[in-house]
Amino acid sequence: MRACRFWTSGFVALLSNNQLVAVSNYDEPRPRLLAPCPEGEVSSWSLIPPAYTLSRSVEVLLAVDKTVYLVDPTEAEDKVLQNGPFKHASVSPTGRFVALITAEGKVWVVSSDFQSKYSEYDPESRVTPRTVDWCGDDAVVIAWEDEVHLIGPNGVAARYYYDGTVHVVPEFDGVRLITNDTCEFLHKVVGK
């Protein structure tokens, strides 16, 4: 096994041969193979929990070579992208959006069906971020060792700098930013 991704009631394991195994219910763990995956180097992957898919089965986004595959129990559908390898893929908390880091280091926010591209952001850094997470369903957080960019709609961003290493902990409605000295919570403020 190479890695696991979890959701509330289950997980998906990525095996060394790119095969995906899903367990959808911890109470009755029945591992099942998802559709056969393409061969090649997996540069990143993420999952959409069953509660947010039309099929009500877990779906996995698997970045292989220059494209992304959407893998479910029956098929591995090539989304026919050309800007890979995608260094990070992160699905929003409601499964509606996907944040991708392209080979050039740009952040793309697309719909989870890959039919719409909502924004593109250039962090002006060729160093791959350590973390790509969602701040609620409205903004993407990318973080390096001591720098955080909060990317909102239309690619508008706020930048935060820290004296030491910052750790990003995603929560459903925001993100917690933790350093040796501080703990901050970023979230959307809704006006009346």
pLDDT at 180: 93
Cross-strand bridge partners of residue 7: 10
Report pLDDT digits (tens) over 92-122.
999 999 999 998 999 999 999 999 999 999 9
**Distance from C-alpha of 41 to C-alpha of 34, rounded to nearest angstrom:** 18
The answer to whether the CB of 92 falls within 8 A of the CB of 137 is: yes
Phi-psi region of 93 (alpha: psi -120 to 50; beta: other; left: phi over 0): alpha
The distance of Cα 188 from the centroid of its chain, to the nearest Å, equals 19
The answer to whether the CB of 159 falls within 8 A of the CB of 148 is: yes
- DSSP letter, residue 189: P
pLDDT at 191: 61
- Prior bond to 93 cis, omega within 30? no
pLDDT at 142: 97
Report pLDDT digits (tens) over 173-192.
899 999 999 999 998 877 66
What is the mean pLDDT, run by run of 10 residues, along the chain of 192 residues? Answer: 91 94 93 92 94 92 94 94 91 94 93 93 92 93 96 91 94 91 88 62
